[in-house]
């Protein structure tokens, strides 16, 4: 694979530094942690049929945390919630 630099093109590819390797591993770990937290909150919302206060207790987090996660991940806003009934017109 050719790599462009100021001197032109070269086929020389360097190995990542230990710092770059550690930063990449940290980023992967943070992503995995984020997914795990989200799955715990989603499961708690399912168990409580969308009751955010009860879900917070089950998940072991502050109620505000649940609300922040819902704002950050709008796709979970309706997890466990009963469908809303709409008025029927004649």
Residue at 51 is within a domain: yes
Show the domain range for 49.
Answer: 33-79
Q: How many domains does the chain have?
A: 1
CA 59, CA 41: separation in Å to the nearest integer?
A: 6
Flag whether the pTM goes above 0.95. no
What's the CATH code of the domain at 45? 1.10.10
Q: Is 40 within a domain? A: yes
Q: For residue range 42-84, what is the model confidence (pLDDT) as tens digits?
A: 999 999 998 999 999 999 999 999 899 989 998 888 887 766 6
Model confidence over 8-45: pLDDT tens digits?
A: 566 667 888 999 999 999 999 999 999 999 999 999 99
Distance CA 56, CA 48 (A): 10
Q: Is residue 20 in some structural domain? A: no
Distance CA 67, CA 56 (A): 9
């Amino acid at each position: 694979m050719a790599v462009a630099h100021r001197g032109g093109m070269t086929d020389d590819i360097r190995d990542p530094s230990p710092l770059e390797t550690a930063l990449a591993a940290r980023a992967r770990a943070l992503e995995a942690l984020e997914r795990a937290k989200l799955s715990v909150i989603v499961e708690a919302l399912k168990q409580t049929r969308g009751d955010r206060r009860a879900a917070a207790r089950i998940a072991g987090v502050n109620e505000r945390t649940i609300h922040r996660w819902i704002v950050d991940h709008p796709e979970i806003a309706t997890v466990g919630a009963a469908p809303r009934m709409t008025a029927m017109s004649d």
